[in-house]
Chains A and B, each alone.
Chain A
Amino acid sequence: MSPWGEAWRRFRRHRLAVFSLGVLALLVAAVVLGPVLWRMPIDAIDFSATMQGPSLAHPFGTDDLGQDLLARTLYGGRISLAVGLAAMGMAVLLGVSIGALAGISRGPVDAALMWLTDLFLSLPQLPLLLLLIYLFREPLKAVFGPEGGVFVMIVLVIGLFGWMQVARLVRAQFFSLREKEFVEAARALGATTTRVVWRHILPNALGPVIVAGTISVAAAIIAESTLSFLGLGFPPDIPTWGRLLFDSKDHLDIAAHWALFPGGAIFLTVMAINFVGDGLRDALDPRRVM
């Protein structure tokens, strides 16, 4: 059986993870295809139907301007998932580069990079995220436009604070793989360090990175929602899930549905991703299985 087939076999044994994978697939399909099928505009204001509960015309109800919450939730899901994936990509890229560099170079370079990693781990993330957003919001808006600017900025700052776990994992993998016989054999055959890293060490270090990457998508979605919930993420015309919660929190007594749907969407997505990550850990990280 191929290694991937073997991993899939182990993953299937974790029933909650398989179920979560299904939920996740449904959620992704909903936010990708949803806005195509549910053709209600996200910003159609209707003062005759404000803050109404779920009905046939508005399955998720409406907000204080009478805007359709199903359309807004679906659209917001696109942004939230896109931010999560992009920030994960950045965190993994940074983490793998730094971890690999530290793992292959030893000595002072390794020590310096690990000091940097520990420093970043002990930084208070949320206050610094808020500080960076406060300081750099305007110039990025000028470069990438109001929507693109916020997107780029949020992905950058979340990625900037999300690479440390990956870097530590990759470094640890390098330390153990570097001493293995097959790496020594490759080196004895005259393979350059670059080739050893790319062809022999990195592919074998992939498992834990995939697990950490999966979890970091969930972390990034929570981070983005937190920023938007504090009113410092996306602007009101881009209704991400966190932003919808922020807008709803002053109307909880009359329009609970307004908070429950986007909040439930965040919860469901993050939980599904975490369970899938749990299953992937069983599948790709055999040492952990009892």
Chain B
Amino acid sequence: MGSFILRRLALALPSLLGISVVLFAALALAPGDPFAELATNTNVPPEVRVHLRASLGLDDPVALRYVHWLWAMLHGDWGFSFISRVDVTTLIWERVPVTLGLIGTSQLLALAIAIPVGTLSAVKPYSWFDRIASTIALAGFSLPTFFTGILLILVFSIKLDWLPFVYRSDVEMTGWRAVVEHVRQAIMPVLVLGLFQAAGWTRYVRSAVLDVIRLDHVTTARSKGMPERRVITRHVLRNALIPVVTLVALQLPTVFGGAIVTEQIFRIPGIGSLLIDAILRNDTPVIMGVTFVFSVLVIAFNLVADLLYGLLDPRIALR
């Protein structure tokens, strides 16, 4: 197991480097000179400008600039926000927990729906339940998160007036009422993200269970006289859910995309809405920082999924 973990870590490192190259290339290839403003300023003599450029390393070869940039990023020196003059790292760290909380709860909700529904569909394929569940899943899969968000706001905030549609981090209440208020305002964002994922995963769980349910060991368990419930939970689900772990990890980039949209709709102060605000205000250091954090998160979760996969299926770790 130890060598398996090490091998996986060694595989994640090149991906991280690859992403950093992609990010830097995008920045380096993009037109627009940070010194364009200075060039038109007559108070700055040309030789000062040239000197400034050289001292900031702007005339260095691209490879050298990349190494400098990567070194700074690794040291946590991500620069200052152009707008709020705050360290990019503090700005991002304040908001990461919000985003992770939103994603975490919605993924739990999605799994809580997808596993039972997908399993029931697969136990009796092409039954009425399966047909209805599959159709709803495909429909839910086609409802983009921004439209579900708007629909929920229309129904639950505007028509019924049950839930607040703007997320507020500074709830004035204290004690239990504050907790209730936080839960109330989190319901819709979590639903939007969770239902969308649930729709996609129901299909995965269904086909994964279908693959396992016809295997010999399941027939054996049944012929031993084991109750069907136990056969499904112990012998089918246990094996069927292993590949689902990988699929969940593969879906993560989509989940983060959904989180950005959801945060933007409900004005949740997470890194997704930070990214949109930064783009609308041309705040390059924040944009680069947030994109980098998203990339690192995706790779980290992929790594966790890989390790889980090895833990659940010892055959993988041995290879």
Contacts and interface: CB of A to CB of B under 8 A. Distances in A.
A210 interface: no
A109 interface: no
A119 B30 contact: no
Interface residues of A, number: 48
Contact of A275 (B26, B138, B143): B138
Q: Which of A125, A218, A273 has its CB near the most chain B CB atoms (within 10 A)? A: A125
Interface string B139-150: 101111011001
A131 B291 contact: yes
A54 B30 CA distance: 45
B260 interface: yes
Interface string A238-253: 0000100100110011
Contact of B142 (A134, A136, A218): A218
Interface in A121-155: 121-128, 130-136, 138-139
Contact of B291 (A124, A248, A270): A124
Contacts of A252: 150, 153-154, 158
Nearest to A133: B279
A100 to B, nearest CB: 23
Interface residues of B, number: 53
B243 interface: no
B135 A16 contact: yes
A43 interface: no
Interface stretch (A85-93, A184-192, A225-233): A225-233
Contacts, number: 132
B261 A267 contact: no
Contact of B299 (A115, A122, A125, A229): A122
A128 B144 CA distance: 19
Given A134-B287, A229-B146, A253-B158, A127 B135 contact: no
B22 A123 contact: yes
Contacts of A222: 144
B39 interface: no
Contacts of B76: none
Contacts of B32: 135, 138
Interface stretch (B79-87, B179-187, B249-257): B249-257
B142 A270 contact: yes
B290 interface: yes
Given A218-B142, A270-B144, A125 B253 contact: yes
B207 to A, nearest CB: 9
Contact of B298 (A123, A256, A278): A123
A123 B253 contact: yes
Contacts of A266: 144, 147
Contacts of A271: 138-139, 142-143
Contacts of A218: 142
Contact of B257 (A125, A138, A225): A125
A46 interface: no
Contact of B158 (A231, A256, A275): A256
11 contacts: A121-B253, A122-B299, A124-B256, A124-B297, A127-B275, A218-B142, A245-B150, A248-B150, A249-B150, A266-B147, A271-B139
Interface of B: 14-15, 18-19, 22-23, 26-27, 29-32, 125, 135, 138-139, 141-144, 146-147, 150-151, 153-154, 158, 210, 250, 252-254, 256-257, 260-261, 264-265, 275-276, 279-280, 282, 287-288, 290-291, 294-295, 297-299, 302
Sort A-B residue pairs by CB-CB distance and give the 5 closest, nearest first.
A126-B257, A135-B30, A271-B142, A124-B294, A263-B147
Given A119-B18, A270-B143, 4 more contacts: A122-B252, A230-B264, A256-B154, A270-B142
Interface of A: 16, 115, 118-119, 121-128, 130-136, 138-139, 218, 222, 225-226, 229-232, 242, 245, 248-249, 252-253, 256, 259-260, 263, 266-267, 270-271, 273-275, 278, 290
